[in-house]
């Protein structure tokens, strides 16, 4: 069996406001195969974002470790490209120059960075907007620019933290369909945080359900639905059956 691309192994994390420990994660383990899309869902405040911060190397776990291709990656951000909930585009930079920020931070010169990013603008539906500023873009276009900024770094694993949470329902649905299309084209390995069961099922190969804080994995629900997935799939009985399994896992005990 091939080595998993990403392994989260027995991760626990507590914070200490004052003198008492505040447990957030309790022995969380999961893994992703190369090219797999996995969503993490759980009650609000259960520790999903803390888990992402540990995976991304922004927080150190108290116990456990992160592996990429079987190699130690705990505390390292190098293998990961992380897209937070807000697009965080700089208003004084053009869209093109916003998309190359990660490359510039990594030490790439501006001209080759622009060339790399520019080649992706047609794929991301942004062709012709290279010289525009963020205020000139719709919410969906801003999120596509933010995702382009993330994937252009060519990291091994994408970490997406509620990337469409700030969008209206219609735009969010459109962006989910677009992400399904481009993910299939590039074969990214993706770990997604979401509060939206339908979004998790539509985009994912598996849904990992966390319990209330301190979070443990309650269940992993496989999504055995054909790809590519069209918007109409969400009205079918097979889709509803997977949603029901995720919902049931959310409402069971620890």
* CATH number, domain with residue 200: 3.40.50.300
Count the helix, strand and coil residues of the chain and give each as a percent rounded to the nearest 5.
Answer: 35, 25, 45
Nearest by Cα to 158 from 247, 34, 24 = 34
Output the pLDDT for position 145.
Answer: 92
Please check whether residue 155 lies inside any domain of the structure: no
Please check whether residue 43 lies inside any domain of the structure: yes
Domain that holds residue 68: 1-78+193-254
Please check whether residue 109 lies inside any domain of the structure: no
Output the pLDDT for position 54.
Answer: 94
Please check whether residue 110 lies inside any domain of the structure: no
Please check whether residue 203 lies inside any domain of the structure: yes
Please check whether residue 225 lies inside any domain of the structure: yes
Q: Provide the domain count of the chain.
A: 1
Residues comprising the chain, all counted:
254
List per-block mean pLDDT (blocks of 10 residues) for the chain, which spans 254 residues: 87 80 90 95 88 92 94 91 85 96 91 94 92 93 90 88 82 86 86 93 96 92 92 93 94 70
Cβ contacts of 204 within 8 Å, gap of 6 or more: 37, 38, 39, 192, 223
110, 100 in Cβ contact below 8 A? yes
**Entry pTM:** 0.90
Please check whether residue 14 lies inside any domain of the structure: yes
Helix (H) or strand (E) holding 12: strand 6-15
Please check whether residue 40 lies inside any domain of the structure: yes
68, 25 in Cβ contact below 8 A? no
């Amino acid at each position: 069996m091939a080595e998993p691309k990403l392994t989260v192994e027995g991760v626990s994390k507590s914070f200490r406001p004052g003198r008492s420990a505040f447990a957030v994660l309790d022995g969380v383990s999961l893994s992703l195969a190369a090219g797999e899309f996995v969503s993490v869902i759980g009650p609000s405040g259960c520790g999903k974002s803390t888990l992402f911060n540990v995976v991304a190397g922004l927080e150190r776990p108290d116990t456990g470790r992160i592996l990429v291709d079987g190699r130690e990656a705990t505390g390292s951000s190098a293998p990961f490209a992380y897209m937070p909930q807000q697009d965080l585009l700089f208003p004084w930079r053009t869209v093109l120059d916003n998309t190359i920020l990660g490359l510039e931070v990594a030490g790439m010169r501006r001209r080759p960075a622009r060339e790399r990013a520019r080649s992706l603008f047609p794929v991301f539906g942004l062709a012709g907007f290279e010289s525009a500023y963020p205020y000139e873009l719709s919410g969906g276009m801003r999120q596509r620019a933010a995702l382009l900024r993330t994937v252009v770094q060519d990291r091994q694993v994408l970490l997406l933290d509620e990337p469409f949470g700030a969008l209206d329902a219609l735009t969010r649905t459109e962006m989910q369909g677009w992400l399904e299309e481009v993910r299939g084209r590039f074969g990214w390995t993706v770990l997604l945080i979401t509060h939206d069961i339908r979004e998790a099922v539509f985009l994912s190969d598996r849904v990992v359900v966390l319990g209330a804080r301190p979070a443990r994995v309650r269940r992993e629900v496989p999504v055995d639905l054909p790809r590519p997935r069209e918007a109409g799939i969400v009205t079918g009985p097979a889709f509803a059956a997977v949603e029901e399994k995720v919902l049931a896992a959310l409402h069971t005990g620890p």
